[in-house]
Amino acid sequence: MRKITVVTLLVIICSSFLSACWNQKELTDLAFVMAVGIDKGEDKKFSVSFQIVNPANVNLGQGSGGGQGLPIAVYSSSGDTVTEAARNATKQISRRLYYAHTNLVAISEEVAKDGLLNILDVLDRDPEFRTTTQLVITRGTPAIVLVSSLANLDKLPVNKITKEIKATEAMLGENMQITIDDFISGLLSKGKEPIVNGYKVTGDVEMAGRAGDLLETKTKAILSADGLAVFKKGKLIGWIEHEKARGVIWILDKVKSTAVNVDWGEKKEAITMAPLRTKTKVAAKIKQGKPVIDISIKDEGWISEVNTAIDLTDPNEIEKIDKLVEKEIKRQIMATVKEAQKMKSDIFGFGEKVHKKDPKLWKKLKGNWDEHFAELEVNVKVDSYSRREGIRTKPFWSNFNQ
C-alpha cells in the first residue's frame, strides 16, 4: 500500500512539470495553403500567390456537398524575398498561412530562367513545408493564373493538376511526378541536372478562376501538362516536348505505359503497341580512355490498335512488329539524347554512372562535364515483345472486301 502511495505521489509531482500543447494551433486561426505561385513582381523581386481552401465550401467526405461559394480564395503579395512576400500577405488575410497541406508550387518561366536557388532555400528550410510537394513551371502563363484556375471534376483545383500529372505519367509517359526533393537532389548531384514538369493554361485565359467557366460543359480555360523543363545550374535553359519528353522518361526508367506507333507497309502509324512492363538499365564503360553509355531497354506490351490488314496469329508477323517497335523506341531515345546534348545538360544522370564506374576518370571530367556530355557516345539496345493482341487477332473490317 505504501509503495502504491509513493508511485501515485511521483506521478502527481511529475505531471506538474509537463506542459500543455505549447504550439497548438486553432483551425479557425489557420489559412490552409493548397498551392503557391511565384512570379516576377513589377518593382519587387517576387510576386507570390497563395491558393487557400475555403473549408465551408468544400466537402471531401461522403456526405452532402459543401457551400455554394467557390472552394478556394487566392491572395497575392510581393516582396524582395519569398519570405517577405508571404509575410506581406498577412495585410490581406485574417489567418496565419499554414503550409502543411500544400501540394503544389508553380513557378513562372520568367522566374525559372533567373534561377531557383533563392526560392528553394525557403521551401526546404520551413519545417511546415513538405519537400514532397510537387513542382511545376508555367509556360507562357503567369503562375498566378494557374494557381487561380478552377476545375470541374475536382473540388480543389490543385488536385486536378497533381492528378493530371499522375495520369499522364501512367498512360502517356511524357511527364512524371517531380517533387521539390527530386529537384534539389538533381541540383546537388555532380553528374545530373534536374527536370521539372511544364504546365500551361490555353484557350480563354481570362476565364481561368471565374465561376462562370464551370457552368460550361467544355471549359474555356484549359489546364494541361506540357513538356519537361530542362535546367542547368539551377536555371531554366530550355524545354523537351512530346516524343523527346517520352524518351527522357524511358531513360530514367519511369515509363508505366505509353503508345508506340509504327508503320506497316505503306500505311503510316498503322499499329499501336502499349507497354505493359518496361525496364531500363543504364551503364557506363570506358573505351580508349573515354566514357561510353549503354542503355538497355526490355519492353513487354500489347497491341492496342491495328489499322491495317494483318494476321496477328502469325508468329512471323508478330516478330516483324516487335522489330519495328524496337526501332521506334530506339529512335525516340536517340533523338532525346541528342536534344539534351545540344543543351549540354545531363538530365539523365550519365555523369553519375561514369563516377560509379571510374572515380579517377570522373575526377578529371567533372569540372567540364557539360562539354564531355555533349560529345558522349551513347548506345541504345531495345528488346520488345508483344504478349497479347487484345480480344481480336484480325480487324473486324478485314473481311469486308472478300
Neighbours of 172 (CB within 10 A): 18
What CA–CA distances, in Å, run from 62 to 27, 58, 151, 157, 221?
22, 12, 19, 19, 29
φ, ψ of residue 65 to 5 degrees: the values are -70, 175
φ, ψ of residue 205 to 5 degrees: the values are -60, -30
- What lies within 8 Å, CB to CB, of 185 at 6+ separation is 194
User: Domain 242-402 falls in which CATH fold?
Assistant: GMP Synthetase; Chain A, domain 3 (3.30.300)
pLDDT tens string for the chain (402 positions)?
555 665 566 666 665 555 555 455 666 778 899 999 999 988 778 999 999 998 777 765 544 455 567 888 899 999 999 999 989 998 998 888 899 999 999 999 999 999 998 888 888 888 888 889 999 999 999 999 999 988 887 878 888 899 989 988 888 999 999 999 999 999 988 899 999 999 998 887 888 778 787 777 888 888 889 999 999 999 999 999 999 999 999 999 999 989 999 999 889 999 999 999 999 999 999 999 999 999 999 999 999 999 888 888 889 999 999 999 999 999 999 999 999 999 999 999 999 999 999 999 999 999 999 999 999 999 999 999 998 877 667 776 666 554
Question: Quick one: which H or E segment has residue 306?
Answer: strand 290-306
Supply angle C-alpha 147, 175, 129, rounded to 5.
45
d(CA 347, CA 335): 14
Sign of CA dihedral 40, 189, 173, 104: negative
Name the residue ranges covered by the structural domains of the chain: 25-240, 242-402
203, β-bridge pairs: 221
- Model pTM score: 0.87
In residues, how long is the chain? 402
238, β-bridge pairs: 230
